[in-house]
Chains A and B, each alone.
Chain A
Amino acid sequence: MIMNVAIEVIVSIFVLIGTAFSLLSALGFIRLPDVYTRNHAGTKSITLGLLSILIGGFLYFLLTEHYVSIRLILGIVFVFITAPVAGHLICRSAYRSGVKLTETSAKDDLKAVYQDRQNEV
């Protein structure tokens, strides 16, 4: 009985942390100024939120039903691999198609490189 309560508490802590981070990154999507800074919210907080929800699910099945869910582990691995790549690609394609940085931006080292390349072509 005590074991069951302990399992439920641990699993729900993981799921709640995950939900909180997902909420925060949704907030970030709305509040941050441009594509690039929004991407920060999209690549980091959402990955962590998803990760801890999946870990919560994994622990639930492992502890209550003694079932090792390989699918959930695979989910964690693929989220880990794909989130940084997706963030990188969104940022890069945004930059290449000429989306501007916000006005508060401090510096832009990439601009010079792109102009050089265009001059070469």
Chain B
Amino acid sequence: MRLDPKGPMKSDIELVEDVKAGDRRAFSELVQRHQRALLRLSLRFLKELSIAEDIVQESFIKAFEKIHLFEGRSSFKSWLFQIAVNTAKNRLRGLPREFVNIDDIHLGVDPGAESGMVQGDFRRAIRAEVERLPERQRLALTLRIFEDLSFKEIAQIMACPYDTAKANYRHGLMRLRERLEELQGETDWKDFETLVHVEGGRMRTEAEQ
């Protein structure tokens, strides 16, 4: 649903102004634009689709009710993400661990496997280690690497200074690296370094292309 298919697409900030003026359709447009990204973000915290949908809905309702407080000093998307992150955190407090735990992810490697780890295990191990990072480091890393947000946006979502957001990201990445090296020692991953280099290099090349 576009506001005016013939006219130029309005920016988020313009749509927010329209919503403040009482235009319901403008909010509908904002929902269309951001619901997918918000669902993806929610699914990172809460593995259950139905709960993630609830978070998205609740976040949009809160955004609508508080939209008069949005002053446009940051992007609407990061403001919305901030609401969603806080809503998800509140929800996580009331949930049993199985919705958010990564314990069910198989980290170990078959002891009899001589050929080293397969790509799937390796990726699962990385995902599991990302989830084991301290909350703020994980949030900074997730928002930066997975959501491609700027540090300014991340700082706003995390409600912290810019440098703190960057520091959380750096520490998270380095901690992840250390942890993966420890895992290398704990397992039979003989070709760990090669795998990192080859897999990482391949993904990096794909990303750069």
A and B held together in a complex: no
